């Protein structure tokens, strides 16, 4: 039994069942016992491994795309280089190494990291100790200083709370976490009926039992980014697992020590995420004012960015084992059955066409 589970049960006992978004927010962000506050999520000792932790090639190729964005923006004299949810700081360290190849980039960039976890901020600071830019830390996207920006976010949006709705014979209701007869956490339907107008028209008449997710927190950030892109100019590269067309289904998942876990089993000790609805995310950014967007799968993005060439040069002169490890990393990052297809890359831009390696949307 986790301490946070006790705290959540007590909260439900007094306040009533919690909407899924509140449960998720407390599991991840509870100031004392929240997952990102207390746990070391990344690496073989943690619960999952993210792409930048698989191989330096990932951050390097994201860096190459940032250079392309910088050029597409007309090489601004000053801009904010921003990362949302930098984790251990690995992606940014690898990105900056590549970006240093373009002299004007580093000279023009101010580094801004958006991170809520004080523990991870310290780790990011240490990882970037030898980097050519010193980071300024912010709690939220709104705190990023004004001016053009180039932003990257890897596995950030999946950690933001989602809402779930369930179709009952009487219409749509919020999906909630309550207590069963034995006092254990259980999923249920809330009592208040959700107006049909809150449910996208395509799904209103789905059969009973259907679960629908919305991501207001993620969409609000995307809309804000769209607004900033329109006002200040810039580009964003957003990478995450998710789907390109809105659909029904329950994607809330818990990862505990590299295995899927019951979402209600280890609050605060298991990572909780949901798949990102990229159609909704891009739609919000365009509503906010972004001028263009484009999607690639992670596999397409990395291969178009030169993953195989980079792997070849990285492996030159290395031992057989090291070359084998590089080949494994290529597979892991780009093979369709691994991260290549499930992960998507969304490019947003203030210019009418996004930058290479993204195609513009006609």
**Which residues are near ligand SAH by CB under 6 A?**
36, 42, 50, 52-53, 85-87, 91, 114-117, 120, 154-156, 159
CB of 224 to ligand SAH, least distance (A): 13
Which residue, among 218, 216, 241, 266, has the nearest Cα to 41 in the 3D structure? Answer: 266
- Closer to ligand SAH at the Cβ: 167 or 344? 344
CB of 80 to ligand SAH, least distance (A): 16
The region that residue 43 occupies, defined by phi over 0 for left and psi between -120 and 50 for alpha, beta otherwise, is left
CB of 241 to ligand SAH, least distance (A): 11
CB of 350 to ligand SAH, least distance (A): 23
Q: What is the DSSP string of 263-310?
A: TTTSTTTSEEE--EEHHHHHHHHHHHT--EEEEEEHHHHHHHTTHHHH
CB of 17 to ligand SAH, least distance (A): 23
- Closer to ligand SAH at the Cβ: 55 or 154? 154
- Closer to ligand SAH at the Cβ: 117 or 349? 117
Residues 25, 30: Cα–Cα separation, whole Å: 7
Residues 330, 58: Cα–Cα separation, whole Å: 9
- Closer to ligand SAH at the Cβ: 189 or 329? 329
CB of 164 to ligand SAH, least distance (A): 19
Residues 310, 241: Cα–Cα separation, whole Å: 24
Quick one: 112 exposed, middle or buried, by C-beta within 10 A (0-12, 13-18, 19+)? buried
Q: Which residue is nearest to ligand SAH (CB)?
A: 85
CA angle 69-60-296, nearest 5°?
60
Residues 340, 338: Cα–Cα separation, whole Å: 6
Contacts of 335 (CB under 8 A, 6+ apart): 299
- Closer to ligand SAH at the Cβ: 17 or 59? 59
Residue 275 near residue 251, CB atoms below 8 Å = yes
- Helical axes 320-334 vs 56-72, angle rounded to 10°: 60
CB of 41 to ligand SAH, least distance (A): 6
């Amino acid at each position: 039994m986790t301490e946070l589970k006790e705290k959540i049960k007590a909260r439900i006992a007094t306040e009533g069942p919690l909407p899924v978004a509140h449960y998720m927010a407390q599991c991840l962000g509870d100031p004392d016992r929240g997952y990102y506050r207390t746990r070391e999520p990344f690496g073989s000792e943690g619960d999952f491994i993210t792409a930048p932790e698989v191989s330096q090639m990932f951050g390097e190729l994201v860096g190459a795309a940032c250079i392309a964005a910088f050029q597409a923006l007309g090489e601004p004299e000053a801009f904010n280089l921003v990362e949302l949810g930098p984790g251990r700081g690995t992606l940014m360290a690898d990105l900056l190494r590549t970006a240093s190849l373009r002299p004007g980039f580093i000279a023009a960039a101010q580094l801004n990291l958006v991170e809520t976890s004080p523990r991870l901020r310290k780790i990011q600071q240490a990882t970037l100790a030898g980097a050519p830019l010193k980071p300024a830390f912010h709690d939220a996207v709104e705190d990023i200083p004004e001016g053009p920006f180039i932003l990257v976010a890897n596995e950030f949006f999946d950690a933001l709370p989602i809402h779930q709705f369930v179709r009952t014979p009487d219409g749509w209701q919020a999906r909630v976490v309550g207590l069963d007869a034995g006092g254990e956490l259980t999923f249920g339907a809330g009592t208040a009926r959700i107006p049909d107008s809150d449910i996208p028209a395509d799904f209103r008449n789905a059969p009973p039992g259907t679960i629908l997710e919305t991501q207001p927190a993620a969409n609000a950030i995307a809309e804000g980014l769209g607004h900033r892109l329109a006002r200040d100019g810039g580009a964003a590269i957003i990478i995450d697992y998710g789907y390109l067309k809105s659909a029904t289904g329950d994607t809330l998942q818990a990862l505990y020590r590299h295995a899927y876990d019951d979402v209600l089993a280890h609050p605060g000790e298991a990572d909780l995420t949901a798949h990102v609805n990229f159609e909704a995310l891009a739609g919000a950014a365009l509503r906010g004012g972004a001028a263009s967007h484009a999607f690639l799968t992670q596999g397409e993005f990395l291969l178009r960015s030169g993953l195989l060439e980079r792997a070849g040069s990285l492996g030159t002169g290395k031992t057989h084992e090291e070359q084998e490890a590089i080949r494994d990393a290529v597979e892991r990052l780009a093979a369709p059955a691994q991260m290549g297809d499930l992960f998507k890359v969304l490019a947003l831009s203030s210019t009418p066409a996004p930058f290479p390696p993204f195609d513009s949307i006609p």
